[in-house]
A and B are shown apart, each in its own frame.
Chain A
Amino acid sequence: MTRYFTKDHEWIAVEGSEATVGITDYAQSQLGDITFVEVPGEGSEVSMGDSASVVDSVKAASDVYAPVSGKVTVSNAALEDQPELVNTDPEGDGWLWKMTLSDPAELDGLMDEASYQAFIAEL
């Protein structure tokens, strides 16, 4: 499994043509207490860069963009009652949705873990 990162602070963990998407630990720490997560509908098609989900914190609502294009297969139902999972375990149990990739070549434009850490160190 390979994990990629975006400049908008999403992560995507890819295994073959299947992937899991969430927001990074840096993103959740910036957003603060998360009170609501709107996940995309299962079966919906998302295009790279589209707003696919909304994460609401006490401070503000933030869009979560699809890191790559594809079809949503599963949304994280646990977030309905426990949106705080995105705070406590953003890169684990706080995942947002799983998807099937339609164009794996889009992954080439994303950052690896080391590049992302260097990117946020500059922010």
Chain B
Amino acid sequence: MSDTYDISELDPDVPTGPLALPLDTWHRARGGRMVDFAGYWMPVQFEGIIAEHLWTRESAGFFDVSHMGQLYVSGEGAEAALEAVLPIDLSTLPIGGVRYSLLLNDEGGILDDLMVSRWGQGFYLVVNGATKWDDIATLRERLPDAITLNHLEDSALFALQGPKAFEALEPLVTGEYPLSALTFMRGGQFKMGGVDAWISRSGYTGEDGFEISVPAENAAELADLICAQPLVKPIGLGARDSLRLEAGLPLYGHDMTDTVDPVSADLLFGINKRRRSEGGFPGADVILPLIASGAETRRVGLAIEGRMAAREGAKVLSGDVEVGTITSGGFSPSLERPIAMAYVAVAHAAPGTQLTIDVRGRKLAASVVPMPFVPHRYHRKGAA
């Protein structure tokens, strides 16, 4: 837990190079190829994106996501205050529950997507790295002064993802209850290597897995502990992106922006049912009518013929008419073909619709397909 966030510490005009995260040395020692991402040095790959991607799909991949913002909202009335800021229904979120939500502007645009967990005395939020400083400013501005917003800058964040993530992590943790008590989107406090760790069964790959918040000062030893398991290999940002794309999970800044509404983005599950009927969140005046009337465009999945990938910015055509734009795309290592997400006019959004993509003058055939491209394998409550 760190000190109360103070807005005076923020000065976006001060120019800085990429910053080092707690595992910087650790990544470099393991051959991570470091790139500037969201203002931090991050590993884009270790042994290679395809190998890392496939390892995560069949075993367990270790991801350092310490660039993401970890926030803690607490104080008398925090629940009501957070509901005034996010379209989330906290009345149905138990202690240890994790829920996806959206930070919206007054025009209904998406400022960020985030995860909200209920802890005993407050709420733990995980926001995107590239947007965290803006998010903190937005939240501080919108939350009453009596509500405390902490930026947990002294915490590192890991993800362990894949069908063998449980098998790899289970022997390393102790707690009031076993790790197996966690089902998808549930979290709890555990000890790992003698250190406090908040662990939730969640992630960004479509696989079963965990997200693990630990003290930054213990990050390297705990990363060693996890990666000493033969089932686990460190995975870079490159495979993180291809994994989330196959899982149909949108990436902020690409597949959603502050000019895109949640209806077009097909992210209505981020606006809980009670909030859809009651409103009372930023952008509700725009979004609620849009839910009733439907949006003009929709985020869809595209399966592309051939081997050439279509990437962000490529135009989507129906015949010769432009009907949309790709927001992220690439080669799917699991499916061994190019896939993409695009925003297309709703008339062309139905699965099976045949479209054409213009990649630098080359015309690629594509069809609209349901997402995820690769089935999710979450460990849901009640499932075997």
| Chain A residues proximal to chain B, CB less than 8 Å | 32-33, 35-36, 38, 54, 56, 58-61, 83
User: How does the 8 Å CB contact mask read for B33-63 relative to A, with 1 for contact and 0 for none?
Assistant: 0000000000011001111000000000000
Using Cβ atoms and an 8 Å threshold, which residues of chain A touch B45? 32
B279 within 8 A of A: no
**Measured between alpha carbons, how far is A61 from B357 in the docked complex, in Å?**
15
Let me know if A32 and B307 touch, CB within 8 A: no
Let me know if A83 and B307 touch, CB within 8 A: yes
Let me know if B308 and A56 touch, CB within 8 A: yes
**Other-chain contact of B48, A33, A61, A83 (Cβ < 8 Å):** A33
Interface centre among A33, A56, A83 (most CB of B within 10 A): A33
**Measured between alpha carbons, how far is A36 from B362 in the docked complex, in Å?**
14
Using Cβ atoms and an 8 Å threshold, which residues of chain B touch A32? 45, 48-49, 238
**Measured between alpha carbons, how far is A40 from B317 in the docked complex, in Å?**
25
**Other-chain contact of A36, B44, B50, B308, B360 (Cβ < 8 Å):** B308
Let me know if B307 and A58 touch, CB within 8 A: no
B379 within 8 A of A: no
CB distance from A44 to the nearest CB of B (A): 15
Report the nearest A residue to B362, measured CB to CB. Answer: A38
User: How does the 8 Å CB contact mask read for B308-330 relative to A, with 1 for contact and 0 for none?
Assistant: 11010000000000000000001
Using Cβ atoms and an 8 Å threshold, which residues of chain B touch A61? 308-309, 311, 359-360
Let me know if B48 and A35 touch, CB within 8 A: no
Using Cβ atoms and an 8 Å threshold, which residues of chain A touch B238? 32, 58-59
Given A56-B331, A61-B360, 14 more contacts at CB 8 Å? A32-B45, A33-B48, A33-B51, A35-B307, A35-B309, A35-B331, A36-B307, A36-B309, A38-B308, A38-B362, A58-B238, A59-B238, A60-B311, A83-B307
Q: Which 3 A-B pairs have the closest CB atoms?
A: A36-B307, A35-B331, A33-B50
**Measured between alpha carbons, how far is A58 from B333 in the docked complex, in Å?**
8
CB distance from A36 to the nearest CB of B (A): 4
A-B contacts, 17 of them at CB < 8 A, read: A32-B48, A33-B50, A35-B331, A36-B306, A36-B307, A36-B308, A36-B309, A38-B362, A54-B308, A56-B307, A58-B49, A58-B50, A58-B238, A59-B238, A60-B311, A61-B308, A61-B360
* B interface, over-half SS: mixed
CB distance from B213 to the nearest CB of A (A): 29
Known: A32-B48, A33-B48. A58 touches B311 (CB 8 A): no
CB distance from B337 to the nearest CB of A (A): 9
**Measured between alpha carbons, how far is A32 from B333 in the docked complex, in Å?**
13
B200 within 8 A of A: no
CB distance from A58 to the nearest CB of B (A): 4
**Measured between alpha carbons, how far is A35 from B339 in the docked complex, in Å?**
13
B242 within 8 A of A: yes
CB distance from A4 to the nearest CB of B (A): 28
| Chain B residues proximal to chain A, CB less than 8 Å | 44-45, 48-51, 238, 242, 306-309, 311, 330-331, 333, 359-360, 362
CB distance from B364 to the nearest CB of A (A): 11
Using Cβ atoms and an 8 Å threshold, which residues of chain A touch B306? 36
**Measured between alpha carbons, how far is A59 from B330 in the docked complex, in Å?**
8
**Other-chain contact of B49, A33, A36, A38, A83 (Cβ < 8 Å):** A33
Using Cβ atoms and an 8 Å threshold, which residues of chain B touch A60? 311
Using Cβ atoms and an 8 Å threshold, which residues of chain A touch B48? 32-33
Using Cβ atoms and an 8 Å threshold, which residues of chain B touch A38? 308, 362
Using Cβ atoms and an 8 Å threshold, which residues of chain B touch A36? 306-309, 331
**Measured between alpha carbons, how far is A10 from B148 in the docked complex, in Å?**
57
Using Cβ atoms and an 8 Å threshold, which residues of chain A touch B360? 61
Known: A35-B331, A36-B331. A59 touches B307 (CB 8 A): no
**Measured between alpha carbons, how far is A60 from B310 in the docked complex, in Å?**
10
Report the nearest B residue to A60, measured CB to CB. Answer: B311
Let me know if A58 and B331 touch, CB within 8 A: yes
CB distance from B8 to the nearest CB of A (A): 39
**Measured between alpha carbons, how far is A83 from B309 in the docked complex, in Å?**
13
Let me know if B330 and A58 touch, CB within 8 A: yes
Using Cβ atoms and an 8 Å threshold, which residues of chain A touch B51? 33
CB distance from A101 to the nearest CB of B (A): 27
**Measured between alpha carbons, how far is A37 from B120 in the docked complex, in Å?**
54
Let me know if B49 and A59 touch, CB within 8 A: yes
CB distance from B46 to the nearest CB of A (A): 11
CB distance from A64 to the nearest CB of B (A): 14
Let me know if A58 and B242 touch, CB within 8 A: yes
CB distance from A80 to the nearest CB of B (A): 8
CB distance from B192 to the nearest CB of A (A): 32
CB distance from B234 to the nearest CB of A (A): 16
